[in-house]
Amino acid sequence: MLPGNTYHVYNHANGRENLFIEEKNYHFFLQKLSDYILPVCNLFAHCLMPNHFHLLIEVKQEEELQKAYQLHGPTVIFKQEELELKVSKSFANMFSSYTQSFNKVYHRKGSLFMPSMKTEIVETDESFCKVVHYLHANPVHHGFVKKLDQWMHSSYQILLSDSVTEIRRNEVMNIFGSREAFIKYHQQDIDIKTKWVDE
């Protein structure tokens, strides 16, 4: 994942397992996201489903990444390829940390996430809006709720609220144009031809 680029990131549990069994699991995952990913990425939207998750993130600019990955001691300047690997490693570390805690609590062993996280670059405002809508409508598509605002494990309600959040709310609303435009866009049906529909 390249510095400065926006990506739709998603991953699935291994086999028929779930990533989230109890309410506290969702909160714990978001804490891990905050610890491991938000130092190097900006978060625009998310949706956590029982057996998979979706994120819309922007990898921070190269200068910010250089600072984020500095260790104690002499300043090291990383090449772009090294920064790409470090961002990927941050995700791997998050998955590993979550899995270790999950395995301990639920007395299981082995990997929890599919080994290959999926990433799709998002290059236009149109694609950005489409992905945000798709993430938020995912629980409706999978039959968990009738309306997208009923699912408590996505960023939809957070983006519409005034609560303190690490999500880049203002940037999201600016791309949609306004809060009203954001709501109206989310009232349409999702495009079932979207390539991410088969998580």
Its pTM stands at 0.91
Each residue of 99-118: pLDDT tens digit?
Answer: 999 999 999 999 999 988 99
Under a CB-based contact definition with an 8 Å cutoff, are residues 84 and 66 in contact?
Answer: no
Q: pLDDT-derived band of residue 91, with 50, 70 and 90 as boundaries?
A: very high
Task: Tell me the CATH architecture of domain 6-197.
Answer: 2-Layer Sandwich (3.30)
How many Cβ atoms sit within 10 Å of the Cβ of residue 70?
13
Q: pLDDT-derived band of residue 72, with 50, 70 and 90 as boundaries?
A: low
Domain boundaries, the chain: 6-197
Rounded Cα distance between 8 and 105, Å, is 30
Would strands 6-12 and 118-122 be described as parallel, antiparallel, or unpaired? antiparallel
Rounded Cα distance between 128 and 182, Å, is 12
How many Cβ atoms sit within 10 Å of the Cβ of residue 179?
12
47, containing H or E segment: strand 41-49
Rounded Cα distance between 190 and 199, Å, is 15
Each residue of 4-29: pLDDT tens digit?
Answer: 999 999 999 998 999 999 999 999 99
